[in-house]
Structure 1
Amino acid sequence: MLKLGNHLSSSKGYKAMGEAAVKLGANTFAFFTRNPRGGKAKEINPSDVEAFLQLAQEQGLQRLVAHAPYTLNPCSADPDLREFARNTFADDLKRMEYTPGNYYNFHPGSHVKQGTETGITFIAEMLNGVLTEEQTTTVLLETMSGKGTEVGRSFEELRAILDRVECQEKMGVCLDTCHVWDGGYDIVNDLDGVLSEFDRIIGLERLKAIHLNDSLNDLDSHKDRHARIGEGKIGLEALVRVINHPELRELPFILETPNDDAGYAAEIALLKSKYIE
């Protein structure tokens, strides 16, 4: 079964997100734990969560892929910003336990001219300060396109972070198709080769989710500009190979394409029609 959904607004609560996903034809979804630009998180209503969990069971909603705010930078040169990232991250992990057993994805951050090694050190320090053996949430490092001073532009950089994390079993990776393409990994002409390289460096058992996006940019552009499915340089045919690949087809796929609800519903229906059961 294709596990497919998109990003939904969490402002109206969990049950509303579940209902919106079902209406779009999705069976999973992503959501920001708070405003994607940061700020205080809305209080969680336990009765709303209970209603969502009941809906999820009835409708067959699959594992969710929450997303940390874009503003978090655990490897900032500013210690106050690193502390903000750590506190927000820790708070989000507590909030994730209302819906246990799901994923929490985040952008590793930008080292801001401190150097990649320093950035990796700061990211791992944050993770070691917030991860617990008791949590049921798996934290996912996202593959990045490599614009500016982003950390996570290569599989080697993600592996370097993972190697320094103490709670190894609480960590995984989310592969973004636009990001890896923009980052120089040719998933159009050599998907098997890219996955073999991922397996050699990180291990495919670490790959837990896919952000399924087309790209406005050429291979190795390091720009990160998402496009609708089939309207970019990756193309529909290549993305269909991604959802049907034997190493990927059972993972949750999250659309982050520039769309409205009608556009997402159309993309979900299109990809479902291309999925080989």
Structure 2
Amino acid sequence: MLNKLTTELRNPHSIDIDIKPIREILEIMNQEDSKVPTAIAKEIPQIERAVNFAIESFKQGGRLIYIGAGTSGRLGILDASECPPTFGVSHDLVQGLIAGGSKAITEAIEGAEDNNTLGGDDLKAISLTEKDTVIGIAASGRTPYVIGGLQYANEIGAKTVSISNNKDSEIGKIANVKIEVVTGPEIITGSTRLKAGTSQKLVLNMITTTAMIGIGKVYQNLMVDVQPTNKKLIERSKHIIMEATNADYVTAADYLKKANYNVKAAIVMILLNCTFDQAVKKLEESKGFIRNTK
């Protein structure tokens, strides 16, 4: 079966890569990587559907759950872990599950991805509900762990999405929405941590970033729900306030303190000339959208 998968074919452009100069190897890699955005562009309609699923889940009090094995699982965990500091959401809102559990983030857990029931078990462990969206990620599109997870998610009525790098994938046949980014053979045959992994990372970026914009976590193009938890982020927060309000540095710093380091509230306080409590209330009334505050 593997020899029928695009991701397992030999790449004709890298047949003799083991005897090529370093510069030429790098050029081949760069040329192959440049094909990834074009492949993703063909799947934007399906990615849009996935984003709408995520927004719908968030508005209903549900979550976005990634499930995968190996590189795919690690990429889901990476994307999920970046959402709280970037968008100020809880660690529960976007979660990543990997075959073999947390140990598998740094080590290969033999046989874990081949267990068809483990995916469903992991989703049961986090009390998956029909309000959630589950995105199964597998370059091959046939990983049993992911298949089992998507099947369980379907059974309880959760929204399901698949991300793979082969057409007519097994997980695509199970999910409500299938995203199939065909990136072609890797320069090292079967090493899907390369183009396939890059495409997955880009698609996950698109899904969470756009979904967060859709629930008011971005104003203009500013990450106004950033959590200023260190010196760098405190400075970034001040500059975000400056950009959003045209305030000077001193004013931005002053309002950041007055707003208890709530960047979004500080912006509303300046724009509407109101108190912190009033800003918080206005943001609640506008469901977090600064543009809709009055």
Fold conserved between structures, TM > 0.5: no
Of Structure 1 and Structure 2, which has the larger fraction of its residues in helix? 2
> TM-score of the superposition, structure 2-length normalised?
0.28
Greater gyration radius: 2
> TM-score of the superposition, structure 1-length normalised?
0.29
